[in-house]
């Protein structure tokens, strides 16, 4: 059975590919969990650059409302998992909602001329908060127009306002992003990582970008063996034997 997202290490580049084209790569609970797993794998790996792309005509139609993750934020790069190495997104077709968030939180983004971004949450009555950080990445009024009105943002306009790095002809985004990834993989890794770290520390973060990781730490504590041991020791009126896990 083919996984809805795959991770392939090719040389020094980690290829992370959304593979659910029949649903326009809409993110269900399994996919959010896999993204979190793959970001952790990439962070700990020898691969120097990650390339996020998608099978089919569209990058990602957002969250699959028939099977959403309760912790979708864990699948968001640089939020669910801190990445010190660069991440490039290659986008074709629609990148909607959570799909747009994946591209926004990537370090670089190359699209083809079929790409369109949309964030319809205001029309749906929900908001996760991470994309508030868009105002620190493109002009504030353009960001608010995009987030509040929920209208499509085509590739040319996305490039014009600085949301993406490059627009290629149809079908060319992946090859162009891979060429950049290989160039970055050949560069001095400590310098690249330091540039990323320093620029992310300079870039203002949305409240959600700060809050979600903190919530994750608290959840880990609440689900830990140490918590269970502490409760058991209290009930049994003995000294707890904590293991740090």
> Do 71 and 142 belong to one domain?
yes
The pLDDT, as a whole number, for residue 236 is 81
> Do 94 and 171 belong to one domain?
yes
Q: CA neighbours within 13 Å on the CB side: how many for 217?
A: 6
List per-residue pLDDT tens for the chain, 245 residues long.
Answer: 689 999 999 999 999 999 999 999 999 999 999 999 999 999 999 999 999 999 999 999 999 999 999 889 999 999 999 999 999 999 999 999 999 999 999 999 999 999 999 999 998 888 889 999 999 999 999 999 999 999 999 999 999 999 999 999 999 999 999 999 999 999 999 999 999 999 999 999 988 888 887 766 656 666 788 868 777 876 888 887 888 88
> Do 109 and 26 belong to one domain?
yes
Residue 64: CB partners within 8 Å, gap ≥ 6? 23, 26, 27, 28, 31
The span from the CA of 177 to the CA of 221, in Å, is: 39
The pLDDT, as a whole number, for residue 222 is 62
Structural domain tally of the chain?
2
Q: Which two tokens stand for residue 185?
A: 């993989």
Q: Where are the alpha helices (DSSP H) in the chain?
A: 29-44, 98-104, 121-124, 140-149, 155-160, 173-186, 189-202, 207-222, 225-236
> Do 171 and 218 belong to one domain?
no
> Do 76 and 191 belong to one domain?
yes
User: Which CATH number does the domain housing residue 23 bear?
Assistant: 3.90.226.10
> Do 196 and 228 belong to one domain?
no
> Do 193 and 213 belong to one domain?
no
> Do 101 and 73 belong to one domain?
yes
Domain ranges, residue 236:
206-245
The pLDDT, as a whole number, for residue 158 is 98
Question: Is the alpha carbon torsion for 151, 153, 157, 163 positive or negative?
Answer: positive
> Do 34 and 152 belong to one domain?
yes
> Do 153 and 236 belong to one domain?
no
The pLDDT, as a whole number, for residue 148 is 96
> Do 199 and 238 belong to one domain?
no
> Do 198 and 213 belong to one domain?
no
The pLDDT, as a whole number, for residue 221 is 66
């Amino acid at each position: 059975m083919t996984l809805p997202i795959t991770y392939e290490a090719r040389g020094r580049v980690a290829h992370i590919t959304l593979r659910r084209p029949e649903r326009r790569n809409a993110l269900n609970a399994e996919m959010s969990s896999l993204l979190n797993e793959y970001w952790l794998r990439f962070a700990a790996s020898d691969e120097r650059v990650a390339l996020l792309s998608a099978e089919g005509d569209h990058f990602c139609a957002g969250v699959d409302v028939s099977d959403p993750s309760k912790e979708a934020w864990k699948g968001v790069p640089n939020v669910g998992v801190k990445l010190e190495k660069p991440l490039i997104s290659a986008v074709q077709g629609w990148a909607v909602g959570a799909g747009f968030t994946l591209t926004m939180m990537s370090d670089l983004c190359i699209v083809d001329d079929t790409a369109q971004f949309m964030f319809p949450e205001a029309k749906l009555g929900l908001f996760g908060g991470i994309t508030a950080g868009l105002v620190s990445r493109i002009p504030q009024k353009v960001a608010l127009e995009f987030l509040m009105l929920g209208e499509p943002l085509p590739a040319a306009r996305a490039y014009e306002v600085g949301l993406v790095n490059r627009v290629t002809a149809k079908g060319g985004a992946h090859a162009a992003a891979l060429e950049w990834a290989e160039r970055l993989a050949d560069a001095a890794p400590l310098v690249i990582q330091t540039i990323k770290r320093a620029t992310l520390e300079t870039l203002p973060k949305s409240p959600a970008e700060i809050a979600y990781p903190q919530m994750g730490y608290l959840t880990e504590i609440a689900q830990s063996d140490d918590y269970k041991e502490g409760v058991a020791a209290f009930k049994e009126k003995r000294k707890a034997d904590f293991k740090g896990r």
